[in-house]
Chains A and B, each alone.
Chain A
C-alpha cells in the first residue's frame, strides 16, 4: 500500500476534481490549491511529499511556484510533477531547468498520471516505462 501526501495545484476546477479523485483512490492524502499563491501558502504551512503542478495559471504561475520551492533547501525532498500544455516544448525544458522531477502533457492520460506519481512516491512500484525527464547531468 502506498502512502504520502499530494498537493494538486490547478486552476481548472474540473481537472482539479479528476486529479483529486485519482490521487485519493491511489491512497494519497490530497489537498487542492486553485492558484499559485495559495499553493505556496499551503506548502509553507505543511510541505506535501509531491506537488502536481499546472504551469498555466493566472498570476503566480507554475514556474514561479517551482522556482520558489526549489529555492528553499528545507523543501528539497518535495517532488514536483509539472503539467504542461501540448506543443509547449519550451515549458518542459524550463521545468527541467528549474528542477522539477517529472512532467505530464495535457491532455494527459489518467493512468499515466497515477503511474508517474506512484513511481516517484514509492520507487518500489513497477514503473510503466521510464520517466519523461532523463536525468540532467550534475551541473
Chain B
C-alpha cells in the first residue's frame, strides 16, 4: 500500500487549522521554531514525549497524529481485501484513500468484516460439530438398538412356535412398545435434520473430493488392480524402476521424460499433453521423480477406471472432477510404487518402522505414511489385517492440507488441530521422528501418534522452502504391532498426554494451551 500521510504534514495542517504559528506552537511545546519546521517537513522523526505534547496542543490523540491508527486500519483493510470469500472484494488500491478521507467508514467496514468472519468461523465449526453431534450419535445408537430388539422379538416369534401364551404375549408387547419408541425417535430426527442439518453450507470442490475419499476409506480396489497390471507389464526389472516407468511412458504412450530447472517447472512437474513431454524438476528427489512418472502412467493407463470413479454424482462441478482425477492418479502412483501385498507384508515384518520401509521401497516419508493410511481398509491377506491408521499433513502454520481418518481419531476439517498434538511440536525437532501417547477427553480412546516435520528437499540457496509435518497414528489397542510403542505403557503416570481434537470441541477448561473458547452448543435434543 502507499504509506499513510506522514506525521509532519498532519502537524502542519492541524496547526494551521488551529490558527497557530510555527513560532507559537514551538514555544508552547518547548522546542525551537527551526526544529518544528524540520519536523513539519518530515525531516526529523517524531515520537515519545514531544509527540504527546504536540498532540495535546493540537487537540487530537498521539495515535492519530502519528498515523498509527491509519496504518492499522489500512493493514486490516488489506487483509479484508485479500479474503477470497468476499463476493465483491475491495480493490487494494482504494484503501489509502478510504483510510485518509473517511476513517469512520473504514472502521465501520472493518467492524462488519470482523462480525462476518466470526460468523463464518462459527458456521464452519458448527458444521464440523454436526458430524459428531451428540444428539445424532445418540439417536443412531438408539435406532440401532430398537431395530435389533424388534428384529430379535420377531424372529423368536417366528422360530419358536411352541412357546407359552404368556411368553408370546410378552414378546408381541415388546415389538409394539419398541415400534412406538422408534416412531417417536424418527419424528425427532426429522425435526432435528430440518432445523439444523439442512443448513449445511455449500461444498467446495476440495470438500467434495475429500468426502469421496473419506467415503471410500481412501481405498480403491479398481486402482490397485490396474496398478498391479501395469507394474507386471513394466519393462526392465526392478533394477531401475524410474527407468522402467520412463521407458513405458515412451514406448506405450509416446511421452518423453525431460529434466528441467526449477525455474522452468515451478510446480515441480509439468505435463505437456500436446508435445507429449513430461518435465520433471531436477530439484525433486528420485522418489518424487518415480512418483510423478507413475502418476502420469496412471492417467494414461488407467484413464477409464479413473474416469468412471470421477463420474460419481457426488462430484458436482468440473473443478471437483478435475481435482478427483488428480487425486485418483496419485492413488494409482502409490499403488504402483508400494504394491499392496508386498508393502503390507513388509510393514508387518518391519513393525511399521517407517524409515525401514522407506529404504526397502525407495520412497519418501510422506509416501510411506500415506500408503500405510490408505491401506487401512485393504482386505486381510497373508500379511494379516492392516492396522487402521490415520494420516495428517499440516504446514508450519498449522493449516491442514491432507487428512485421512481411519483410526477412529477425528481429524478437524476447518479449524486447526489441538495444539498439544505432536504434529505441531515435531517442528521443534525437524527431521526427527517423534512419538506421543495421546488421550482424548471424556472416556475417549488413547492413540499412538508418530510425527516428523521437515523442509521439502531440493532447490538452491534462494529457494523459498516449504515446511510440513506428517503425522500418522493408531488406536493404542494396535500399538504393539509398531516399533514406536516398544516400552510404552499408556497406563503409567505421565505417559499419556491429555489432548483434544480442536479447541472449539474440547472440554478441557484447565488447558494452558487453549487458544479459543470451547464452542457452546445448546442442548440439542430439546
Q: Does B263 contact A (CB under 8 A)?
A: no
Question: How many Å lie between the Cα of A63 and that of B445 in the bound state?
Answer: 11
Q: Report the stretch among B198-206, B474-482, B497-505 that lies at the interface.
A: B474-482
For B152, B160, B178, B384, which residue has the most chain A Cβ atoms within 10 angstroms? B152
B155 at the interface (CB under 8 A from A): yes
The distance from the CB of A37 to the nearest CB of chain B, in whole angstroms, is 14
8 A-B interface contacts by CB (under 8 A): A14-B153, A15-B145, A15-B148, A18-B156, A22-B152, A63-B477, A107-B144, A110-B156
Which residue from B155, B380, B478 sits with its C-beta under 8 Å from A97?
A: B478
Q: How many interface residues does A have (CB within 8 Å)?
A: 30
Complex formed: what's the CA distance from A139 to B480 in Å? 10
Q: Check B319 for interface membership: any CB of A closer than 8 A.
A: no
With A85-B141, A139-B481 in contact, do A107 and B148 touch (Cβ < 8 Å)?
yes
Complex interface: chain B residues within 8 A of A106 (CB): 144-145, 147-148
Q: Using A85-B141, A93-B388, A96-B385 as known contacts, say yes or no to A107 and B178 having CB atoms under 8 A apart.
A: no
Residues of A near B478 (CB, < 8 A) are 93-94, 97
Q: What's the least CB distance linking B181 to chain A, in Å?
A: 10
Q: Chain A residues near B238 (CB, 8 Å)?
A: none
Measured between alpha carbons, how far is A19 from B148 in the docked complex, in Å? 11
- Output the nearest chain B residue to A109 by Cβ-Cβ distance: B155
Interface string of A78-105 (1 = CB under 8 A from B): 0000000110011001101110000000
Chain B: which residue is nearest A134 at the CB level? B380
B151 at the interface (CB under 8 A from A): yes
* Complex-state Cα separation, A85 to B145, whole angstroms: 9
A45 within 8 A of B: no
What 0/1 pattern do residues 404 to 421 of B give for CB contact below 8 A with A? 001110000000000000
A97-B149 CB under 8 A given contacts A14-B178, A107-B144 = no
Complex interface: chain B residues within 8 A of A107 (CB): 144, 147-148, 151
Q: Is the Cβ of B159 less than 8 Å from the Cβ of A14?
A: no
- CB interface residues, B 471-493, toward A, < 8 Å: 475, 477-478, 480-481
Q: Which residues of chain B from 222 to 268 have a CB within 8 Å of any chain A CB?
A: none
Least distance between A135 CB and chain B CB atoms (Å): 10
The chain B residue with its CB closest to the CB of A12 is B145
Question: A94–B151 contact, CB under 8 A?
Answer: no
Evaluate contact between B475 and A90: CB separation under 8 angstroms: yes
* Residues of B participating in the A interface, judged by any CB pair closer than 8 Å: 141, 144-145, 147-149, 151-153, 155-156, 159-160, 174, 178, 377, 380, 384-385, 388, 406-408, 475, 477-478, 480-481
Chain A residues lying within 8 Å of B178, measured Cβ to Cβ, are 14
**Given the complex, which residues of B lie within 8 Å of A25, measured CB to CB?**
160
Which residues from chain A contact B380 at a C-beta distance below 8 Å? 134
For the residues of B in contact with A, the DSSP-based class is helix
Closest CB-CB distance, B375 to chain A, in whole Å?
A: 13
- Complexed CA–CA distance, A19 and B152 (Å): 8
- The residue in chain A whose Cβ has the minimal distance to the Cβ of B481 is A139
CB closest residue in chain B, given A113:
B152
Complex Cα distance, B147 from A85, in Å, reads 12
A18 and B152 in contact, given A94-B475, A96-B385 (Cβ under 8 angstroms): yes
Whole-angstrom CA separation of A137 from B348 in the bound complex: 11
Flag if B144 contacts A85 (CB, 8 Å).
Answer: yes
A19–B296 Cα distance when bound, in Å, is 56
Given contacts A90-B408, A93-B388, contact A18 B153 (CB under 8 A): yes
**A13 to B, closest residue via Cβ:** B149
Contacts of A15 in B (CB 8 A): 145, 148-149, 152
**Complex A-B, nearest 8 residue pairs according to Cβ-Cβ distance, in ascending order:** A18-B152, A14-B149, A107-B148, A110-B155, A90-B408, A107-B147, A106-B148, A94-B477
| Chain B residues closer than 8 Å to A56, beta-carbon distance | 141
Contact across chains for B149 and A12 when beta carbons are under 8 A apart: yes
Q: Which residues of A contact B174 (CB under 8 A)?
A: 14, 17
Q: How far is the CB of A22 from chain B (nearest CB, A)?
A: 7
Contact of B149 among A18, A85, A93 (CB under 8 A): A18
Which one of B144, B145, B385 contacts A93 once the chains associate, using CB atoms below 8 Å? B385
Q: Would B477 and A97 count as touching, CB distance under 8 A?
A: yes
Scoring A21, A93, A106 by chain B CB atoms within 10 A of each residue's CB, the highest score goes to A93
A93 to B141, CA, bound (A): 19
Q: How far is the CB of A117 from chain B (nearest CB, A)?
A: 14
Q: Kindly supply a per-residue 1/0 record for chain A positions 56-92, scoring 1 wherever the CB is within 8 Å of any chain B CB and 0 otherwise.
A: 1000000100000000000000000000011001100
The residues of A that contact B147 with a CB separation of less than 8 Å are 106-107
